[in-house]
Structure 1
């Protein structure tokens, strides 16, 4: 039975399913996979990648090579949004404060990974398989590729766990700068390898390419960011801000494709220029783009998993991949540790940064493809297989390591917003469980006595069985006192108002409670059970006090970390 089902699914491919159905399938499967792993306390990005493996070339082959190529524009767009959001974290004051640390750590972790992979692949490959020239050349190219760190999976975890602090700041700075270092190291390696293989190549042409990519990427990102700033200063509507922001990102990515330069770098520069030119407007832009981007993130990581092809691996490729994986991991961890230590980074950065630099994807894969074009044949094909195989492994393991690091560094949950707190906090957590109340049959002088002993503006009215009957407000008291001749005869039951309930209970979120409060223009909510027995009372001011105190606590804790 299972074989028949599997056979049926393997017959489905991009040729049989239309693009809209495939997009729906990818987003649904990715979301379900992410949610399942999130329940298991594993970062949801791992679930997206596993969903891609199941649907892709190593699984049911529904997302085949043709589908991946057809969906490439969506992939580029997701990568552009990720780069744009990372650029938004690269504020000038952060670089003034941490710039020297960033450079020291970047060079230490990148160059150490480069050297360790180069030596291990060259030495062990020569010993096991012979042909020293080939394996030392292969090691040099793989070493350069090993220096790259993928920002996508790393930053996705930081955003998922609302991380904030010196470790988070350092990670974002390093993954943003890694591209440039990897390109320069690859240029040096590509200029040396032909001589090792007995051919000749121009050093100038090998170095010119990455210089052109970096320079053009900076110019493209800066130009479209300046254009976006000018547009944003003319409009205040959120829908127009979002549209102009996305258009600018798309124009920058499209220009990078035309010019054959690094799209991620162009998008990062765009975000960096925007956040430093327009601090106030940029907050709204990044908030809107972030809210829009989730489906594209899911699509991106599902396609990362779908690209992995288990059938293309050989025993020798697996052997070199293991060496590469060990060398890259050891090099990055060692380099990051000593780079952070000798640059005077905070203790949390020294201790936990080595766990945050494992991920490898876009730049590494791009350089492997470039290597296969420059060096066609065995060496180029081997690099693509090795980088693809190791990318799959580190993309699965990397996010969990980042999660471990930010939790142990106590930076998870410090980048919360007001909406996060309202959504995650329940009414039962902050309501007054023993609020001052008024019995329905007491006189106005007794009501005034209760009012004088509390700061509440609204009081629940109950019967002897604590069943809610209504509420009394300050305004209703004033109106009754205006009629002095009947004031002494008035009971609570006579002046109470109907209470607003609308299904809010102890398990409801504060966001739901605030929406009801705003919709009905009241400043309170009585919380009752199914029999209308009073369980507690929630005032709008209590919600504001709670949110403000939590935001201030998070701000102080992040600031105290250095």
Structure 2
């Protein structure tokens, strides 16, 4: 939606924002890219890598590397430009975690496909960023027609990526030391933001990758201070929302459909989407086969990896920012990449979530991640009523009540008048007390209305079950009478806390199936 707003404001729309206007926002764009990288790094806890099985890593490497190779080959073949191919290949490797995870949460999925998918979308952006770091260095050398030896071809990317990693690690350690000394927690945001800005500024000045540096900044902080860092990431997350809005509006404003149509960008966009799709699907199948993953992972994971958004767009914008300074062919490359990546994002973001839902549905994982609270929220009081409960009429004699108790397994009995209106309840304990206190000769004179305990707490049958559960737990009751309405107090039945919880547990097991 924000990209669409930018599209309307920019060159492809009302032309209210000229290219020079958009370019003037480059410091804000750089900061947004830095925060994107920082927040990705916050998710990369070392324990995450330790917990994952071998099958996940085989799927991860296969889908990322095969996608990179597929897109690189087909784009290079189409454009006859290897540097353009490897840049598109690196960007294509990334998957949008947010759109994918939203579908999983919305459909309450659980199972081998879901757990594998969550790990893949969390980790493949890391590999994509590493590929992007190497690809951008090699692409710059190829555009500049710099002759690199085999050693230089390997050494130069490693050197620049190493600088990015080093900058991020140092920045993370500095931020850790700063938050350790901060007593006023309200000052965490400005200090954290200052370190991110410093990291981004150094990366831009020395022409190294700012997203990768920022990712290592977040990665370092979350692993050396797992508890203290939560407050930092939460503060940055809250601050970044309006910044993301402006970032995506600016992305949309950069989009130039006329350029895409004139330069054969439509064909390039189609080739990019198709080769990326084929790479993701074939890589997931091959990785699942090699790692002996669950059948549902091998069959359906590829369908879940189409979404492309923040990280891919971030890399495209970063390429445009760094390549535009080189001028000539490099500037055209940057603009082409932004237009194609942003343009195709519209398509894959519409198709991607639908494919994820189809895949988890075929895998039988929808609705399996249910909790006790989910089931309670689905129920009303009338869904759990015990209707065939023993009732004592108000004019029943003590002897008759005793006989009725002997024939019933219930411990509590509702007392009603001749119209069925609830008057209260009598328990076995109440009857025992009366029998001990009264002489046998007087038992025939005692009626139910004489010993009934008035019921102050009743529930209407249309009330949410959650309301009943709250009353049970707050007042420590065993049962609650259910009436049609509190005004008439016409008895419908009873609800017992233990029976309700048994029913919920059975429904929980049924919905979760074999997961």
How does the TM-score come out when normalised to structure 1? Answer: 0.69
Deviation at 1:448, TM superposition (A): 4.5
Deviation at 1:378, TM superposition (A): 0.3
Match of 2:472?
517
Deviation at 1:69, TM superposition (A): 9.2
1:534 correspondence with 2:491: yes
Answer whether contact 1:368 1:380 (CA < 8 A) is retained: yes
Q: Partners of 2:311 and 2:379 in 1: how far apart?
A: 40
1:210 correspondence with 2:150: no
Deviation at 1:309, TM superposition (A): 4.8
Pick one of 350, 353, 361 that aligns with 1:396.
Answer: 350
Match of 1:408?
362
Deviation at 1:379, TM superposition (A): 0.3
SS at match of 1:410: coil
Mark the CA change 1:370 to 1:295 in structure 2 (over 3 Å): closer, same or farther: closer
Q: Partners of 2:404 and 2:250 in 1: how far apart?
A: 67
SS at match of 1:537: strand
Summarize the alignment of residues 99-498 of structure 1 with structure 2, pairs less than 5 Å apart.
100-125=54-79, 132=80, 135-200=81-146, 203=153, 204-213=155-164, 255-260=195-200, 261-262=211-212, 307-309=251-253, 312-313=256-257, 314-315=260-261, 316-376=264-324, 377-451=331-405, 456-474=410-428, 476-485=430-439, 488-494=444-450, 495-498=452-455
Q: Partners of 1:523 and 1:163 in 2: how far apart?
A: 34
1:505 correspondence with 2:453: no
Q: Partners of 2:284 and 2:278 in 1: how far apart?
A: 10
Answer whether contact 1:463 1:469 (CA < 8 A) is retained: yes
Answer whether contact 1:352 1:409 (CA < 8 A) is retained: yes
Deviation at 1:88, TM superposition (A): 7.8
Deviation at 1:381, TM superposition (A): 0.9
Answer whether contact 2:370 2:512 (CA < 8 A) is retained: no
**1:507-560 deviation per Cα after TM superposition (whole angstroms, max 9, x unaligned):** x332222223345553333332245433332222233323444455667732xx
Q: Partners of 1:189 and 1:88 in 2: how far apart?
A: 26
Note the aligned Cα RMSD (angstroms).
Answer: 4.7
Answer whether contact 1:76 1:253 (CA < 8 A) is retained: no
Deviation at 1:147, TM superposition (A): 0.6
Q: Partners of 1:554 and 1:265 in 2: how far apart?
A: 41
SS at match of 1:459: strand
Deviates more, 1:254-263 or 1:332-341: 254-263
Match of 1:235?
none
Answer whether contact 2:368 2:513 (CA < 8 A) is retained: no
Q: Partners of 1:217 and 1:356 in 2: how far apart?
A: 31
Summarize the alignment of residues 67-86 of structure 1 with structure 2, pairs less than 5 Å apart.
none
How does the TM-score come out when normalised to structure 2? Answer: 0.74
Deviation at 1:248, TM superposition (A): 7.8
Answer whether contact 2:320 2:335 (CA < 8 A) is retained: yes
SS at match of 2:514: helix
Unaligned runs of 5+ in 1: 1-48, 126-131, 232-242
Mark the CA change 1:255 to 1:402 in structure 2 (over 3 Å): closer, same or farther: farther
Q: Partners of 1:298 and 1:492 in 2: how far apart?
A: 68
**1:403-462 deviation per Cα after TM superposition (whole angstroms, max 9, x unaligned):** 222232222233333322322233233332333333333234444455556665543333
Q: Partners of 2:421 and 2:437 in 1: how far apart?
A: 29
Answer whether contact 2:168 2:199 (CA < 8 A) is retained: no
Q: Partners of 2:164 and 2:363 in 1: how far apart?
A: 36
